Amino acid sequence: MPTRVTQLSQQNLTLRNVLNTQQRVRDAQIQIATGRKSLDYTGIAEDSARLVSLKAIKVRTDQFVKNNVVVNNRLQLMDTALSTIFDSVSNLRTLIIQARNDAGGSEVPLAEVARNLLDVVTGQLNTKDNGRFIFAGSKTNTQPVTVPVPTPATYGVPEATYYKGDAVQLTARIDETTTITYGMTADRTAFQQAIGAIQAAIQGDSTNNNALLDTALNLATSALQSIAGFRAEVGSDELTIEKANQRNSDFVTFVEGRASDIENVDVAATTARLATETTILQASFLSLSRVTRLSLVDFLR
């Protein structure tokens, strides 16, 4: 029986190379199957801290986007409410002019229509978004306008006795560095003028008081000018949020790309590497087989 020559050092080195290559083959197979460089942070230890930071940034930025959508919805509701209030006050103004100047002015049902317009205006100022009154300042659980609206101390003099909210204007952090103040409360002077104009028109028409109708007309005209400005204000806030969310979305895309570079593999490149490692492994097995079969006669040759 031939005597084997123990080439322990060579055999161990070859065996280590085989095991290392086997591990690389397994790693490549897992990477191709999962699309990930590693199933845990250990496999990407050098980049793990940066990856955690990128994911935290993404979570924060995603939350900004979600919050901004909520704020933008409120602003859209405000704009709709302001549009309706503007139209209502504009209708009131037209009716007052007709009542004062047209030959058939006495036939205009001003008081009746004005009462309906008052319901519309107060209803819009009591608009809610997901249970929150959007014109009540920070007292979002409190209906801002009392219904029915209290009788004014003096008809034709704007007042805010109807208002039950507070003077706090809402704020929103729309990205990492920007906080905006947005919205408005139902006690703004123009809303007082709108409500005061309607009440004065009702009283003036009911008592045939032309002076009071003239006062109502002036209040309505002034209210319309301001409410148009309110809509521009809301539109500006909507544009600011829209731009912020575009920046946020672009930043999320950037962060996702950097995180993907750390976590994910290039499947095509990894497939090519697997083929190479498989060839190396087969060669290593052949080399190990030859070393373990080496006899004294082979060695002496």
Structural domain includes residue 132: yes
Average pLDDT of the residues of the chain: 84
Model confidence pLDDT, tens digit, residues 198-244: 999 999 999 999 999 999 999 999 999 999 999 999 999 999 999 99
Where among 183, 208, 229 does a domain terminate?
Answer: 229
Structural domain includes residue 60: no
**Domain boundaries, position 12:** 8-35+265-300
What residue type is assigned to position 244 of the chain?
A: A
User: Which residue, 158, 153, 145, 144, is CA-closest to 198?
Assistant: 158
Q: Which residues contact 299 (CB under 8 A, 6 or more apart)?
A: 5
Structural domain includes residue 121: yes
Residues 76 and 187 in one domain: yes
Structural domain includes residue 254: no
- Reduce the DSSP state of residue 3 to 3 states and report it: coil
Residue 19 Cα distances to 1, 30, 113, 247, 290, angstroms: 31, 16, 90, 49, 17
Residues 133 and 29 in one domain: no
Structural domain includes residue 1: no
How many domains is the chain built from?
A: 2
Structural domain includes residue 99: yes
What CATH number has the domain bearing residue 223? 1.20.1330.10
Residues 221 and 296 in one domain: no
Quick one: pLDDT band at residue 104, thresholds 50, 70, 90? low
Query: Model's pTM, two decimal places?
Result: 0.75
Structural domain includes residue 130: yes
Quick one: pLDDT band at residue 257, thresholds 50, 70, 90? confident
Structural domain includes residue 42: no
Residues 277 and 149 in one domain: no
